[in-house]
Amino acid sequence: MNQQPGNDHQGGAAPPPFDPPPAPPENDTGTSREQRQWAMFAHLSALVGGLLTSAAGGWGCFIGPLVIWLMKKDTMPFVDDQGKEALNFNITVAIVLLALVLLTVLTLGIGLLVTVPIGVIIGIAWLVLTVIAAMKANEGVVYRYPFTLRLIK
């Protein structure tokens, strides 16, 4: 039998009308646009702080997340979570970089053969992970950095 769409061979009656699915909400995660933006800023502020203090080794990478977290932690739960995450990650990176500097000094510069390549790898990973975290926060997704000490709970 050769059937055409819409014909059910019972008098040619048309099928019932198709209801389109409802439009998806603005955000499936339930976080407001403002919270998502502030959470994204918490992650991106680490980049700004790191770049502004790059002459001093980028030690300012945790100042931006700290300020945003302190400002918004009581009023925005998503920003509280992501601000702590950004702060913990950047404190961890700062501790690792301090350890690399100490290793270089203690070996009277010979450690540079090891610390410079490790520092470059850490710097690239810091940049990539921070951008990924900012994008996830803007989508309203809770992001967890790998290899992070959870110092601030």
Q: Give the per-residue pLDDT at 25.
A: 46
Q: What is the DSSP string of 16-77?
A: PPPPPPPPPPS-TT---HHHHHHHHHHHHHHHHHHHHTGGGTSGGGGHHHHHHHHHHTTT-H
| Of the candidates 41, 38, 59, 42, the residue with the CA atom closest to the CA atom of residue 50 | 59
* 0.75 surpassed by pTM: yes
Could you say which DSSP state residue 95 is in?
A: H
Please give the average per-residue pLDDT across 123-149, as a whole number. Answer: 95
Structure tokens at 44: 């991106």
Q: Is the pLDDT of residue 19 over 80?
A: no
Q: Give the per-residue pLDDT at 15.
A: 64
Half-sphere exposure of 120 (CA within 13 A, CB side): 5
Higher pLDDT: 11 or 82? It is 82
Q: Is the pLDDT of residue 46 over 60?
A: yes
Q: Is the pLDDT of residue 26 over 60?
A: no
User: How many C-beta atoms surround the C-beta of residue 144 within 10 A?
Assistant: 13
Instruction: Give the start-to-end residue ranges of the domains of the chain.
Output: 33-139
Name the pLDDT band for 68 (thresholds 50, 70, 90).
Answer: very high
CB 88 within 8 A of CB 74: no
Structure tokens at 120: 């470059």
